[in-house]
Amino acid sequence: MIVVAGEALIDLVVTADGQRAVPGGSPANVAVTLARLDQPVRLLARLGTDEYGRQLAEHLSANRVDLGWAVRAEQPTSVAVATLNAAGQASYEFRLDGTADWQWTPQELPELAGSTATALHTGSLALALAPGARVLEDLLARERRRDGRTVSIDVNLRPSIVTDRAAEQARVRRQVGLAHLVKASDEDLAWLHPDRTVPDVMAEWREAGVCCAVVTRGADGAWLLAPDGSMHQEPAVPTTVVDTVGAGDAFTGGLLAALADLDALGDRPVDRLAALTVEQWATVLRQAALVAALTCARRGADPPSRAEVAALLGA
């Protein structure tokens, strides 16, 4: 089982034809992607009891995401207003003041020791917004010390919300040092470190204790810094883009699912990841890219099923 921790919010998608409210939030999208790829997944989230919160709970349950550790919160649901440009790329405006996702207390977190969890994944705003970010960071630190499961982070920055670059540099540097696996986009790193190259940043993460790092580059594919320190590139899967909503989250879910299929998640995480061959890493990245491409070819954060991915990988 993979545990995903973080926000589940409503994307209010605005187009020329009007607006629609759809379930979203980076960690929630990752959880749905994993479930559709037939990976047992449990979402550690704070869900509001308002109508949007009920919509989220119904969506997650319908997609076979286990909500056994979800907290039903009295605060309202967070909303992200997503506006699409002519190319289908989304820009976001967030309504987050006093909402449910960021109010974690230590007492609300489960004890992962003794559970069947092979990995803990989080990221995005859940690791950036107080007061809950520190609570989740403490959870990451505890799990990294135990060495009993893989710790994964998707950096997924939101500069329109958290605007202090120096503070974000310090936060990301501190948090990636708690992870075995880190994923980011080239856009994340261009904002975070405008004066540095992507390989330089990935190398710094490795020195901080990250076992492997993946940086997505949109239509240019992805870079992997493997556990042995070697750098690899994987091309993107060509697709007709409808929109990019949830594409990065789909890539992350596809990445984790492919690693789970290879038994590369679990106890002794560094050893498991280091045991993968170059060919296996290429397969992992190819699956993640395909899952993202199929999501881009659909409207909204609508990741594919395992059968859809298998059919195209076979072809």
pLDDT truncated to tens, each residue of the chain (315 aa)?
999 999 999 988 777 777 888 899 999 999 999 999 999 999 999 999 999 999 999 999 999 999 999 999 999 999 988 777 766 666 778 889 999 999 999 999 999 988 999 999 999 999 999 999 999 999 999 999 999 999 999 999 999 899 999 999 999 999 999 999 999 999 999 999 999 999 999 999 999 999 999 999 988 999 999 999 999 999 989 888 888 888 999 999 999 999 999 999 999 999 999 999 999 999 999 999 999 999 999 987 899 999 999 988 876
**What pLDDT score was predicted for residue 80?**
84
User: Taking every pair of C-alpha atoms in the chain, what is the biggest distance, in angstroms?
Assistant: 51
d(CA 157, CA 181): 17
CA distances, 265 to each of 90, 121, 180, 257 (Å):
32, 11, 10, 9
Structure tokens at 136: 């989740």
Query: E strand or H helix at 145, and its extent?
Result: helix 132-146
**What pLDDT score was predicted for residue 21?**
87
* Helix orientation angle between 26-36 and 247-261, rounded to the nearest 10 degrees: 40
**What pLDDT score was predicted for residue 315?**
61
Length, in residues, of the chain: 315
**What pLDDT score was predicted for residue 87?**
67
Are residues 101 and 25 in contact, defined by beta-carbon separation less than 8 angstroms? yes
d(CA 159, CA 298): 26
Does the pTM surpass 0.85? The reply is: yes
- Which class for 259: exposed (0-12), middle (13-18), buried (19 or more C-beta within 10 A)? buried
For 57, list phi and psi in degrees, rounded to 5: -60, -40
d(CA 92, CA 81): 5
d(CA 214, CA 260): 16
**What pLDDT score was predicted for residue 104?**
97
Structure tokens at 239: 């697709």
Instruction: For the beta carbon of residue 21, count every other beta carbon within 10 angstroms.
Output: 14
The answer to whether the Cα torsion of 58, 64, 65, 67 is positive or negative is: positive
Q: Sort residue 186 into left (φ over 0), alpha (ψ -120 to 50) or beta.
A: alpha
